[in-house]
Amino acid sequence: MQAFTSDHFVLPLPPGHRFPMGKYALLRDAVAQLLPQIRLCEAPPATEGELALAHEPGYIDAVLQGWLSPAQQREIGFPWSPRMAERACRSVGASIAAARVALSEGVAANLAGGTHHASAAKGTGYCVFNDVAVAARLMQAEWHRHHRSLLRVLVIDLDVHQGNGTAEIFADDPTVFTFSMHGARNFPFRKVPSDLDVDLPDGCDDTAYLAALAQGLDTVWQRLQRTPPGLVFYLAGADPHEGDRLGRLKVTAGGLAQRDRFVLDALRERGLPVALSMAGGYGHDIAVTVALQRHTLALASESWVAWQQRRAASATRQPIAGADGTIAA
């Protein structure tokens, strides 16, 4: 399985900053050492034209040229620097690359991403550009160019914080279905309605969490029965974990593993390619967050193997068209 990284492009943060910037390099190292079945690839940067598929040109220029006001920088949560802009572009590029691979191989991942608070005209909550929104729009354009047909997209957002930016960008777009399951009393405190929102109470445990997920996905499949998606973005946040500083839920490591397996199995059974992003994770012990995300990637790699077996078994019956228009076995 291919996974795309952008952790070499680290922005400098002041001492005591709450964002765990170091977790990305730790995750890459853990994957390299413990998951040799995953091929790590450095992400290319998203271009200005690609970013403009989901963001206003004036905002893109402000980020890339360093014109963000102090108030805008405070809302994002990062001070501007050339490295901040480069990292934001690379994070989007990683989700673009993962989505392209997922369309041909079934599963791929971004070791960062999930910047779901960024809307068309601004960033907030440690999110500069919305990687999933840009990647979704670009995959739709590329798919139409190669296949002359519509690629419908499903976003499954299981970060503990609601995906308000993604919901806002796709509010009037019936080709993208947004599903967010999150803490009801957590950030952002002013939610933007998704196509389907599932609010969870503080202290939600494994049993309640997994039951809510099963019910939520049942609703998704019912509502998309006549317009099934051809690509899924899965934000596999580690922040519902009981040891997260910002999560406010009580989901165990075992509960998160059941969540990931449930989602990945459901998508594979339906033949829906998935691009994962790691999204949030703010553990009191950052090593715990890294371990949770590493386990998500291990389960994704198992799903990737099952996808290849599925493709091999069906090769003699029906060819599969890749995202680039080529026919894959």
What residues act catalytically?
117
Tokens at 214, concatenated:
């099963």
List of residues 6+ apart from 102 with CB closer than 8 A: 108, 231, 273, 274, 275
Cβ–Cβ < 8 Å for 5, 111: yes
Dihedral sign (CA 288, 260, 44, 59): negative
Q: What does the DSSP assignment read for 275-314?
A: EEE-----BSSHHHHHHHHHHHHHHHHHHHHHHHHHHHHH
Main-chain dihedrals φ then ψ at residue 111, nearest 5 degrees: -75, -5
> Which residues, 6 or more positions from 298, have their beta carbon under 8 angstroms from its beta carbon?
35
> Taking the CB of residue 173, how many other CB atoms lie within 10 A of it?
15
Element (H, E) at 103: helix 82-105
